[in-house]
Amino acid sequence: MKTSLTCIECPIGCQIEVEVENGKPVSITGYSCPRGKAYAESEVICPRRVVTSTVKATDGTLVPVKTERPVKKSDIFAVMQKINKATVTLPVKIGDIVVENISEDIHLIATGNA
Ligand code: SF4
């Protein structure tokens, strides 16, 4: 089976073709750098995304957050449920952990000061 992907690792957006057999990539073409090849492999085997959102602070304001690394696409719904239930105590600085281990030892971190 052949799959076409647009690489999302940089704004160039290379078109990548992946030949997949038994759920594994056997041929990858069209990428311009190693990041694109790694993205295509990951997208076929276990697609992942960084989740960005906001968490409610104790004063009612919203603190911008993101997962420190991409989480499995299949885990995004569970991650969003945890984010929606979370509350953060102020003050918060960029990079502070807002929710520990939100998925597979990946923390949710603040992306803004509050
Ligand atoms: S393959 Fe490399 S150059 Fe092409 S879009 Fe992906 S990261 Fe950018």
Do residue 38 and residue 15 come from a single domain?
yes
3-state secondary structure 59-94: CCCEEEEEECCCEEHHHHHHHHHHHHHCEECCCCCC
CA R_g for the chain: 17
What is the C-alpha to C-alpha distance for residues 75 and 90, in angstroms, rounded to an integer?
A: 28
pLDDT at 105: 95
State the total domains in the chain: 2
Q: Is 5 in the pocket of ligand 1 (CB under 6 A)?
A: no
Residue ranges making up the domain that contains 63: 52-110
Indicate which atom in ligand 1 lies nearest the CA of residue 31.
Answer: 1
Between these two residues, 18 and 23, which has the higher pLDDT value? 18
Mean pLDDT computed over 37-59:
95
CA-CA-CA-CA torsion sign (76, 101, 54, 60) = positive
Two tokens, residue 27: 């041929």
Q: How confident is the model at residue 36 (pLDDT cuts 50, 70, 90)?
A: very high
pLDDT tens string 62-80: 999 999 999 999 999 999 9
- Please choose from 5, 6, 10 the residue to mutate so as to test ligand 1's pocket, defined by most ligand atoms within 8 A of CB: 10
33 and 57 inside one domain: no
Nearest CA to ligand 1 atom 3: 32
* Range 77-96 average pLDDT: 97
CATH, residue 106: 3.10.530.10
- Closest Cα to atom 4, ligand 1: which residue? 14
